[in-house]
């Protein structure tokens, strides 16, 4: 039976409701990850997330500089250090093939250990650099550590 605009039968109406109901039920059962069918959209989302993450990480540098670690140094004087994070970072997005977590985002940045000549941590230089790699999964509509 075909439904046309001129056929206003109860069966056509019921069929249409059934089809609409089945479509709505099917889309309701899809995981939120289905919204992220576009890798470009997922990439943009992860870049925004990484930017926010790095802003938080970098704010810890200010706190660490205000409260440096002071230990006895090898030469008998104090060794004054703190950890900080630079502005440079990179992101990478990889598909997983799993609907529950369709992407993982990889964030790479560097942790820097500063060595200071004064307890106020105003005269400091980078003593070492440590590469950091953080991996996040996209699950239930958000990036998770």
Q: What is the pLDDT of residues 112-121, one digit of tens each?
A: 999 998 888 8
Q: What is the pLDDT of residues 10-60, one digit of tens each?
A: 333 333 333 333 333 333 344 455 544 578 889 999 999 999 999 999 999
Query: Which candidate, 129, 143, 61, 44, places its Cα nearest to that of 101?
Result: 143
Length of the chain: 145
Tokens of 105: 């985002």
């Amino acid at each position: 039976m075909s439904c046309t605009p001129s056929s206003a039968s109860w069966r056509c109406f019921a069929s249409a409701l059934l089809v609409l109901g089945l479509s709505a039920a099917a889309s309701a059962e899809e995981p939120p990850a289905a919204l992220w069918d576009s890798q470009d959209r997922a990439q943009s989302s992860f870049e925004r997330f990484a930017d926010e993450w790095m802003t938080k990480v970098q704010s810890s540098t200010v706190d660490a500089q205000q409260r440096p670690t002071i230990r006895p140094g090898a030469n008998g004087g104090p060794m004054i250090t703190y950890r900080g994070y630079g502005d440079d970072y990179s992101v990478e997005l990889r598909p997983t093939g799993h609907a529950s977590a369709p992407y993982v985002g990889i964030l790479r940045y560097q942790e820097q250990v500063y060595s200071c000549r004064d307890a106020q941590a105003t005269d400091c230089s980078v003593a070492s650099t440590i590469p950091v790699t953080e991996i996040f999964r996209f699950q239930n509509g958000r990036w998770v550590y």
